Chains A and B, each alone.
Chain A
Amino acid sequence: GAVVSQHPSWVICKSGTSVKIECRSLDFQATTMFWYRQFPKQSLMLMATSNEGSKATYEQGVEKDKFLINHASLTLSTLTVTSAHPEDSSFYICSHRKPNTGELFFGEGSRLTVL
């Protein structure tokens, strides 16, 4: 069964509103989780690394004030897209990494459409 649960699967919002996506680790306590974004017909791009109890680490070019990440517990990380615009429409996927293997396991993904 799924080891990473992500919610919601689909979200449609108006431009200027904020959207929160939740990601839960179901099989172990994950001190680190990863947020990816995928535009149509493109590969996964790492946005940020979510660290439990501390600030997230953002990849170059990703606005930390726009994509707020909170990792308040060992099983839950959230991504909030603030003041969303149509160009933020994408497929957002979270994952965790299995210890000692480097293997990533992904949530179901959240497809965001900003009107």
Chain B
Amino acid sequence: DQQVKQNSPSLSVQEGRISILNCDYTNSMFDYFLWYKKYPAEGPTFLISISSIKDKNEDGRFTVFLNKSAKHLSLHIVPSQPGDSAVYFCAAAGGPSSIRNQAGTALIFGKGTTLSVSS
């Protein structure tokens, strides 16, 4: 069963417009969430994160929103640029205080959404 779901495999947006990437999770033990970006033939790179005690975190053109009651988060990119074209992965984990084990849960990724920004 997938604990982290990205239901849209792809998204196409025009340059300058907003890109919204969505993610849902099922494990209530998750208490922090991250977005990673991946270019072909490279490993994923960290983009932005959010703790469950917040509902929004912003970093430049990137904003992550968290709705705990809905177990849903989203990444907003505005304005979108052609260089943003990549696969975006949502990830979630439980912190060291989780009862599963002292070290916390493993970081679980969704299947990714391929974003294409056209100029």
Chains A and B come from one and the same complex: no
